[in-house]
Amino acid sequence: MTISQEQATWFAQTFAQLADNVERAVLGKRHVVELVLTTMLSDGHVLLEDVPGTGKTSLARAMAQSVQGTNTRIQFTPDLLPGDITGITVYDQKEGAFEFHAGPVFANIVLADEINRASPKTQSALLEVMEEGRVTVDGVSREVGVPFLVLATQNPVEQAGTYRLPEAQLDRFMMRTSLGYPDHAATVRILDGAAVATADLAAVITPQALVGMADLAADVYVDALVLDYIARIVDGTRSADEVRLGVSIRGALALTRATRTRAASQGRTYATPDDVKSLAVAVLSHRLILHPEAEFDGVTQEAVVGQVLLDVAPPTRREAV
């Protein structure tokens, strides 16, 4: 079933209202806000690579406030245990039974701060819940609920005492992006007190309606030529000289899902090559493993994806039906 034009128009209007609301708390970062919203509506998760103090916590709280959802923050440290994330079962002597104490992962939006500071064992505790939307403790599986978004952060500058995220975990993040510092005009507005406190933000939509938006996005039409374009881009990352390991099929599927959502956010019932190109760097770059020689020469993953987009010609025939 394909999304109707009326539904696409409503989707675009609601998406813009959500972005406007979040941007009241996170000034001057419209593009990043839209990327995070696109990820949440595509059932994905986001990795934010940023130095401290750029507004990552404000972004997570503003997102939660805007969708009437719950949010938690987990500060990852070397001594953090998997049970500190997922929760544990405790024996209740009065009741004579084990009782589950839910961990902070049971929220609509989870900010996993400095995820690379925890041990690999603790990092892997997020894998099941990010992929499946549920937690298994002592053999019992529990759903974390919907919507569910993990906003994980890591400091790209300070690497002392950190554990590099394995490729298997990086691949589970739909997008990698960065808030970065605000521009001069936004900085002046922030210093003048223009940014709204996240607690004062009004809700735009309910969690149930947000799930309905995600279902609508999944019904956006993607022409076979656009799918072929995505496949050729993915193939291009695998054959690039600088790349040791290219984009996986999971990455291709993630780009397709995000493309559908991006099209709906523009009020269209169909996806175009421009939707793919606007998201390719954020969705694909962190999935590449470069040759050490290329890294030594200063080649970046983003530059490789950008070059692939230049080399792979988009389809010219109209993709809509």
Residue 55: strand, helix, or coil: coil
Distance from C-alpha of 31 to C-alpha of 177, rounded to nearest angstrom: 10
- Both tokens of 1, joined, read 């079933």
Tell me the three state secondary structure of residue 127. Answer: helix
Question: For the chain, how big is the Rg over CA atoms in Å?
Answer: 20
pLDDT digits (tens, 9 = 90+) for 195-236: 887 778 889 999 999 999 999 999 999 999 999 999 999 999
Confidence of residue 2 (pLDDT cuts 50, 70, 90): confident
Structure token digits, residue 54? 């750029």
> What is d(CA 70, CA 209) in angstroms, rounded to the nearest whole number?
15
pLDDT at 158: 64
CA distance 243 to 98: 50
For 75-128, the pLDDT digits (tens) are: 998 899 999 999 998 888 888 888 889 999 999 999 999 888 888 888 888 877
Reported as a pLDDT band with limits 50, 70 and 90, residue 54 is: confident
Q: What is the mean pLDDT of residues 146-152?
A: 92
Burial class for 155, CB neighbours closer than 10 Å (0-12, 13-18, 19+): middle
The per-residue pLDDT of the chain, averaged, comes to 90
Report whether the peptide linkage leading into residue 147 is cis, meaning its omega lies within 30 degrees of zero. yes
Average the pLDDT over each of 8-22, 56-70, 91-105, 266-280 and give the range with the smallest value: 91-105
Strands 175-177 vs 46-49: parallel, antiparallel or unpaired? parallel
| Rounded-to-integer distance, Cα 291 and Cα 62, Å | 39
Alpha-carbon gap, residue 20 to 120, rounded angstroms: 37
Asked if residue 255 lies in contact with residue 302, where contact means CB atoms within 8 angstroms, the answer is no
pTM above 0.75, yes or no: yes
Specify the higher pLDDT residue, 321 or 125.
Answer: 125
Alpha carbons 174 and 13: distance in angstroms, whole number: 24
Instruction: Give the pLDDT score at 52.
Output: 79
Q: Which residues contact 264 (CB under 8 A, 6 or more apart)?
A: 3, 8, 11, 12, 15, 216, 217, 220
pLDDT value at residue 200: 80
Residue 118 CA from chain centroid, whole number: 20
Contacts of residue 93, defined as CB under 8 A and 6 or more positions apart, other chains included, come to none
Q: pLDDT tens across 239-269, in order?
A: 999 999 999 999 999 999 999 999 999 999 9
The SS3 assignment for 115 reads: helix
Residue 319 pLDDT class (50, 70, 90 cuts)? very low
